[in-house]
């Protein structure tokens, strides 16, 4: 294909995209294909001869589309939403057209300087204090890994990267049982070892870390000659929205001089609304915070906002400067690749700029407030429905329930069958989690095109399908 043929297809793709988004609600939310179906429809060998875009596009519709789960569907209530708002898609289209690799300031100054400004816009949107600097990571997992590596290096007086961990005291990192598994992976990758990730018991409705138990664990480790290195807290955990008492836990972290990282991957977006900030009092004292605009702010995947109180610690941990990556003769520049594990970087700030300007903070706040209110209405309705029990209460727009008719011995099996049957039906999409060992079904609302009717329709689907289960 030549560039002078591009716009014809660019227009067709734009029309297709608009039509797709306007009608996606008519499709089953979760892909209904069986394992191997798409794979088997694809030729086993690459083509020797060129093919036309007409044919490629036809195959895209016939082979690829049936195997797509529609994350932009208005009745996507599974996991967390991953919104691709129209301005975000346009920005990504421009980014793909420019295709810059933004590892250094000089490899696209606009990308770097826009990232600095956009991260500061996001900082202000969450009402974090002035002292935080920000970087866009590809995922919350990467931000957490970067934070764990920083914890490790600080605790080892910056010797870990050079000397490895063999001659060191075991490092200990503390979190609750509710944190995302990206924390476990970060611990593995950092060489700290799963056995040194200490799960602190939780308490209360928010299923948050018990700060007294945190201090007890730290003291026991110190007495045993181990080295506490950091605390990882969560605000809006994946399973049930678990939220640690940030201020109380940071009191302990500060007392023992431990680096703190807060994973607010999902719920961080809600902090653009002042009325939800009571969920993280003391957040301004954290060393590192991550949240994903690619979940609930309409800035499409991938875009993780990582805020740092002392970016120099992160840069000291990750920066590596061979001659070819140096920029001579320019003062005061930032090379964001020194703030993250990958060297290469996409131009992600453009879509933040497009989204924040298109909706304004008030437009975004209204969407989130609607999701939370509608989700609460559905919660109230299901709570009043015979044979259903609420397991965890709404945290923002997330709560969990069980179908528990009298006389059923294996409720885990029943609820697994229920969630599978709901997803096979295709009108809505839900996923399961475990709460205190029991299998429960999660509900969250957060898709930008969702309406109150979409949310309330979930009641009809859930109860209708539950009744049909034997
Ligand atoms: N932390 C929490 C609380 C999450 O819910 C998720 C994903 O849903 C993650 C971390 C991982 O996010 P990412 O896919 O950006 O690595």
Taking only the tens place, the pLDDT of each residue in 301-349 is 999 999 999 999 999 999 999 999 999 999 999 999 999 999 999 999 9
Q: Which whole-number Å values give the CA distances from 129 to 122, 353, 369, in the listed order?
A: 11, 21, 24
pTM as predicted: 0.96
Rounded CA-CA distance 104/326 in Å is 9
Residue 458: closest CA among 396, 374, 387 = 374
Read off the pLDDT of residues 219-244 as tens digits, 9 standing for 90 and up: 999 999 999 999 999 999 999 999 99
Q: Which of 78, 137, 141, 294 to mutate to test the pocket of ligand 1 (most atoms within 8 A of CB)?
A: 141
Say whether pLDDT at 470 is over 70.
no
Q: Determine the atom of ligand 1 nearest the C-alpha atom of 237.
A: 3
Directed axis angle between helix 86-98 and helix 349-383, to 10°? 150
Rounded distance from Cα 469 to ligand 1 centre (Å): 33
Q: What is the dihedral of CA 111, 114, 116, 117, to 10 degrees?
A: 180
Determine the pLDDT at residue 145: 98
> Cα-flanking dihedrals φ and ψ of residue 306, to 5°?
-115, 120
Read off the pLDDT of residues 152-209 as tens digits, 9 standing for 90 and up: 999 999 999 999 988 888 999 999 999 999 999 999 999 999 999 999 999 998 999 9
The ipTM (two decimal places) reads: 0.98
The fraction of the chain above a pLDDT of 90, given in percent, is 97
Q: 3-state class of 102 per DSSP?
A: coil
Say whether pLDDT at 374 is over 80.
yes
Determine the pLDDT at residue 109: 96
Q: Which of 79, 83, 137, 140 to mutate to test the pocket of ligand 1 (most atoms within 8 A of CB)?
A: 140
The fraction of the chain above a pLDDT of 70, given in percent, is 100
Rounded distance from Cα 352 to ligand 1 centre (Å): 19
Say whether pLDDT at 257 is over 80.
yes
Q: Across all residues in the chain, what is the average pLDDT?
A: 96
Residues framing ligand 1 (Cβ under 6 A): 80, 139-141, 180, 182, 234, 237-238, 263, 265-266, 292, 304
DSSP 262: E
Strand pairing class (202-203; 208-209): antiparallel
Rounded CA-CA distance 172/217 in Å is 10
Rounded distance from Cα 261 to ligand 1 centre (Å): 14
Residues whose CB falls within 8 Å of the CB of residue 71, separated by 6 or more in sequence, listed in order: 81, 82, 84, 447
Rounded distance from Cα 192 to ligand 1 centre (Å): 21
Determine the pLDDT at residue 168: 87
Read off the pLDDT of residues 388-418 as tens digits, 9 standing for 90 and up: 999 999 999 999 999 999 999 999 999 999 9
The pLDDT of 278-302, averaged and rounded, is: 97
Q: Which whole-number Å values give the CA distances from 114 to 53, 86, 305, in the listed order?
A: 35, 20, 13
Rounded distance from Cα 420 to ligand 1 centre (Å): 23
Instruction: Verify cis geometry, omega within 30 degrees of 0, for the bond prior to 302.
Output: yes
Rounded distance from Cα 410 to ligand 1 centre (Å): 30
DSSP 340: S
Determine the pLDDT at residue 166: 84
Q: Determine the atom of ligand 1 nearest the C-alpha atom of 302.
A: 15
Residue 33 structure tokens: 């294909």
DSSP β-bridge partners for residue 174: 198, 231
Read off the pLDDT of residues 432-466 as tens digits, 9 standing for 90 and up: 999 999 999 999 999 999 999 999 999 999 999 99
Q: Determine the atom of ligand 1 nearest the C-alpha atom of 179.
A: 3
> Cα-flanking dihedrals φ and ψ of residue 432, to 5°?
-105, 165
Strand pairing class (304-308; 388-395): unpaired
Q: What is the dihedral of CA 41, 47, 49, 53, to 10 degrees?
A: 50
Q: Which whole-number Å values give the CA distances from 104 to 25, 64, 72, in the listed order?
A: 41, 36, 33
Rounded distance from Cα 264 to ligand 1 centre (Å): 8
């Amino acid at each position: 294909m030549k560039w002078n043929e591009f716009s014809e297809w660019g227009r067709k793709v734009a029309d297709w995209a608009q039509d797709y988004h306007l009608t996606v609600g008519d499709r089953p939310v979760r892909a209904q294909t069986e394992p191997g179906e798409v794979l088997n429809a694809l030729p086993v060998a690459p083509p020797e001869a060129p093919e036309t875009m007409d044919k490629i596009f036809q195959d895209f519709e016939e082979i690829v589309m049936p195997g797509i789960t529609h994350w932009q569907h208005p009745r996507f209530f599974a996991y967390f939403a991953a919104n691709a708002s129209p301005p975000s898609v346009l920005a990504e289209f421009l980014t793909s057209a420019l295709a810059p690799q933004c590892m250094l300031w000089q490899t696209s100054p606009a990308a770097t300087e826009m990232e600095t400004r956009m991260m500061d816009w996001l900082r202000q949107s969450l009402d974090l204090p002035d002292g935080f600097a920000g970087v866009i990571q590809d995922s919350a997992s990467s931000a957490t890994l970067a934070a764990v590596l920083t914890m490790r290096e600080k605790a080892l007086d910056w010797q870990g990267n050079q000397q490895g961990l063999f001659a060191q005291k075991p490092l200990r990192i503390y979190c609750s049982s509710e944190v995302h598994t990206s924390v476990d992976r970060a611990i593995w990758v950092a060489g700290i070892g799963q056995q040194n990730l200490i799960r602190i018991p939780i308490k209360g409705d928010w299923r948050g870390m018990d700060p007294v138990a945190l201090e007890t664990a730290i003291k026991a480790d110190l007495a045993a000659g181990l080295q506490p290195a950091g605390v990882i807290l969560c605000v809006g955990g994946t399973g049930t929205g678990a939220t640690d008492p940030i201020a109380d836990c940071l009191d302990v972290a500060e007392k023992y001089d431990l680096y703190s990282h807060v994973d607010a991957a999902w719920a961080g977006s809600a902090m653009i609304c002042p009325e939800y900030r009571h969920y993280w009092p003391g957040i301004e004292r954290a060393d590192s915070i991550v949240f994903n605009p690619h979940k609930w702010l309409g800035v499409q995947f991938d875009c993780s906002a990582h805020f740092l109180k002392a970016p120099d610690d992160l840069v000291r941990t990750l920066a590596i400067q061979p001659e070819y990556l140096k920029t001579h003769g320019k003062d005061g520049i930032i090379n964001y690749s020194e703030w993250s594990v990958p060297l290469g970087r996409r131009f992600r700030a453009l879509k933040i700029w497009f989204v924040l300007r298109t909706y304004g903070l008030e437009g975004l706040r209204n969407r989130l407030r609607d999701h939370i209110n509608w989700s609460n209405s559905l919660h109230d309705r299901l709570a009043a429905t015979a044979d259903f029990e609420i397991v965890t209460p709404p945290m923002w727009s997330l709560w969990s329930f069980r179908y528990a008719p009298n006389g059923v011995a294996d409720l885990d099996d029943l609820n697994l069958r229920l969630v599978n049957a709901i997803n096979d039906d295709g009108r809505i999409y839900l996923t399961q989690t475990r709460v205190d060992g029991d299998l429960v079904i999660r509900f969250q609302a957060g898709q930008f095109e969702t309406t109150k009717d979409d949310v309330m329709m979930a009641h009809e689907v859930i109860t209708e399908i539950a009744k049909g289960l034997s």
